[in-house]
Structure 1
Amino acid sequence: MTVGKIWLESVIGVAVLEVVLLFLPVSKAIATIATIAGTAVILFLLLKFHSKKEIAPLSTVKPMLPSTTRQSSGATDQQKSSLDKKVHDNLFSVAETMGFDTQQVSWLSKDTIKTFDQISKIFTEIEEGSHQNAASTQEITASINELSNISAKMRNDILGIENNASEATNMLQRNKDSLESLSPLLNELITSIQRASEDNLKLEESSKKIYKIVEYINSIAKQTNLLALNASIEAARAGSAGKGFSVVSLEIKKLADETKDSISEITPIIDEISNRVSESNKAMENCIDKLKDVETASAASVEIISKIEHSVNMIKKALTDLTEMSSTQMNAVSEIETASNAIAKSVEETYNTVVKLSKDIEIQKEKNDQLAQFSNKLSDTALNLQTLMAKLKTNKEIIFGVNPFTSPDNIRQMYVPILERLGSNLGYKVRTIIVKDYDALIEAMAKNIIDIGWFSPFAYVTAR
């Protein structure tokens, strides 16, 4: 069995795998990973199968110098000399490429997992913030609803106060009109009382005149009585001749006495009338003074009511302005309430979306973990393939082992060419195996899978 047959069988197997993947509903990335993994598995199984039958274990002594490699050539050199060099190189190239590709996939998987962990942490914080925002928005919405109710109640209260102020204004106006109409009546009453007082004064003067007349009549009655007495005396002196004259004198005296009695009755009446008129004048003067006081108080009341009316009108105007402001505020609160409800709905939808995204991220995180596990399996498979290929290396080949101190693709593009030039200058064909970590590099050297290990301090520090 030759290496050419192994190469041919592997090519056929990979072709069949790609045809199968072509008809499967998988993405391009998954198809690429499956192709790499399938190629590694196919080569690994073919090499393992044929190595059990025809390929004996080869010497694992590492070449140190060209002179040493010439000394270690023996049966192994004779056996490998019959192999087709081109197929041998292609197998090693495939193994190297597969090793780098699987390590690159593993590197990217770890980087993706790290990025997704950061994204998951960020989304957890966003979810917590969204939950707090949703709770705060609900509280704000409730407060705005309460403010809207308070604004509506305040507007109704203001309208009620405005109506009461209007009624108070009307009552003040009616009282003012009543007081203003009372002033002319008071003036008329004062005028009438003044006229009555003047009439009383005239009546008092007439009473005084009557009193004087009564006194005069009383004086006449006294004189008449005196004359009657003198006449009686003279009649008595005349004797029988004056007897008739004596009767007349008696009658005159009688009339004088009656006049005196009548005057005695009239005098108290005149005195009483005079006293009553005097008291009436005093009462009228008091009434006039009181009415003037009432008129003054009425005028002051009108002035006070006018001021109160002005104040009430100002309050009414302020209430009207406040009603308009309250209506404007109520409309603004209503708009804010509508906007707040919309924001609350949006925040709730955002929170639900964030929760859904968080769940999707958790699902993707599990898939990334599965992908990382699959990448590790691919890396192990590629390492097993490279281990088998290491047994087929010639004396002119030397295997370098590298741990991933940077991305495998960077190592392949930047550092592998340097190793190849270095080996070419020494007369060796350089093969490169990239392992998954620092410890795997030590283990590969201990098992004689690689000849020279490239240990990076940075990779060691990162691993530790």
Structure 2
Amino acid sequence: MTISSRIIAIILVSLFILSGVIIYRSFSMINNLQHFFTHKVENGKIEERKRQLKDTFEFLISTESIMLESYKEDGRVQKVNDDILKILKKIHFGNNGINVVVSTEDGILIFSPITPELVGKNSLNLRSSDNTLIMKEFIEVAKNGGGYINYRMPGKAGSAPENKIAYVKQDKFSNYVIAVTAYFNDIEKDIEVIKDDVANSTKENFINFFVVAIAVVIIMIVISFFYIRFNLINPVKNLIARAKDLSSGDGDLTKKLEIRGKDEIAQASNAINNFIEKVRILIMDAKQLSSENSSVAHELSSTSLSTGKRVEDSTNIVNEVTQKSRTIETETFSCIQIAQEGKEDLQQAKSYVQDTNDSIKALSSQIVLSAKIEADLSVKINRLSQNAEDIKSILYMIDDIAEQTNLLALNAAIEAARAGEHGRGFAVVADEVRKLAERTQKSLSEINSTISVIVQEISDVSGEMNLNSKKIQELTSISSSAQEKISHMNDVMDKALITADKTLNNYVETGKNVKEIIKNVSSINDISTENARSVEEIASVSEHLNKMTEMLNKKLSEFKT
């Protein structure tokens, strides 16, 4: 597609889009005006119906007032309500569907032409079609000063529910709740008629506007076509013809386009001439640079060959260094393993020494405790020996007392014998006391012998315990010395472990350094290999550059500068 065709197509599309937007906006505006007008009419009808309901209520109240004044003069005030109800039954409010419903404050329905069967009954539970307790709501609104209520009720028994409105207020004289109600069906029919009229008028106006808009668009398209053809397409065709003549020749860059006037086409022609001049100068410079590139390519080719040889030698050296470095890495890793094993052996030996030290500490504690116990036992045994000696001295005193008792008994027997028959009883008692004293002396001799044996054994045990206490003290000194030596050995092993750690860390660090060296050497090897490839590529590129330079020289020679 030519540029002129694209311009015409863009203008046509733009005009169609503009027309479509104008038509759409006009249609939207007409619809909005239609809805606005319909909404205003509907609100006006509803307000008019509300005024009718309120005027009807006011009419009923004024009629009641007139009747009340008249009945007061006749003395029939009590009959006002009955007569008003009779009048309501006879009143016909026209074809607008207005009805009057009257009930008491308690919900007793007094008058209802729609539901006469509920008159005289409580209608508080009466529900509308939208499930509202309508009579209850009537009473609440009336007690609050009156107002309007919207609800739905069937127009006739068995018919579909319809929208309905009521004006409710309480009569001050009778206290009746009066609701003036009416349906919206006549208003809705009027609104539908108005909507149809507005829609028909809108449709007719829109069709007229659409026809006019299409005619205007067609006229604008024709005018735009001829204007573009004479002012844009023809000059562009002339420019294309000149450019083809310039490009289809022998490449003579000295020829220029013809410039007429100062419009955009003339400016474009001038810019093209300037571009051709720059191209001519550029090709002249390119011819000179191409000759220089040819000589540079020859030099680069010879230099890349010698560089490739040197890179190959360095690559061989780097490979040899890499192999030796890997050998060093293997030996270093072996040393690290040996050092690690030695460290583990030292740690195990330290653990054994520590366990031995702990055992000796426990043994030393037990020995010290045993020595203390032995010393305490020795003191207690000495004290027991002393107590036994004290018991022996007491026994000696008891023996003396027994001897004295025996002597007293003997004297008593002698005195009883002198007394003859009168002292026989006392002689028997003296004899028994003497026997008791003898048995006591015998028992004391046995006790004394036993205590002597016990004292001797206590002395022997005390001596042996003192000897054991001395040996335990010597053993405590030996265990303390052994504990000090093991502690010193533990310190020496700690130092050996620290040294082993340092040695192992040095080996590990050396291994890391060796790996880093191998990595760097490998990188150097890779770089050397890459350099070798690069040198080969440079040689290939230089050769290709030489060929391309020759081809460029041939191409550039085709242009006349």
- Relative to the length of structure 1, the TM-score reads 0.41
* Higher helix proportion: 1
Which of the pair has the greater relative contact order for Cα pairs under 8 Å at 6+ separation? 1
- Relative to the length of structure 2, the TM-score reads 0.35
